[in-house]
Amino acid sequence: MTCCNGSSFGDADRHFDAKKAAGKIASFREKGPDPTTRLIERSLAQTGMLGGRLLDIGSGVGALTFTLLERGMSSAVAVDASAAYMAAAVEEAGRRERAGAIRFVRLGNAYENGLRRLKKNPFRTFIHPVSQMRDLIARKGFHLAERGETWEWCVDVYTRRTA
């Protein structure tokens, strides 16, 4: 398998299955956004970035996408590797009458390769060097506007000045 080619959809589907998707969407409906989603929402609010278009990579069942559309984003592209998570997000978009505002794209990558290896789960993701990612982002005209952290995640918000 080569980096970033999405060739492991079957493995992603086994790892992120319909049962997990149903649990995630039920939790979102009952409790609202989780701490990481709230962190991203706060970070975007602090940078004044709650309008415009959203690219949600690793969108899962769409909690962040739905939360930010409610806060003012005009549209979103939701990218995920799991067919079950994507199906749950599509269904939820219809339930929330937001299907027209979201383009769903199935593409691979997630996290936890070491744990998967121990469990003999063949699904793998790829991590690119942070310095190379930051350089690429800067070359495209973006700058770091906000950083937030949870015990599990670091959230960076980049903005690009328009001419």
Domain spans in the chain, listed from the N-terminal domain onward: 9-127
Give the per-residue pLDDT at 109. Answer: 44
Burial 37-72 (b: 16+ CB within 10 A, else e): bbbbbebbeeeebeeeebebebbbbbbbbbbbbeee
pTM for the model = 0.70
3-state SS class at 123: coil
Q: Any idea which fold 9-127 has?
A: Rossmann fold (3.40.50)
Q: 154-160 and 73-80 as β-strands: parallel, antiparallel, unpaired?
A: unpaired
> Per-block average pLDDT, block size 10, for the chain (163 residues)?
46 82 96 91 86 86 95 91 91 96 74 61 66 86 86 80 67
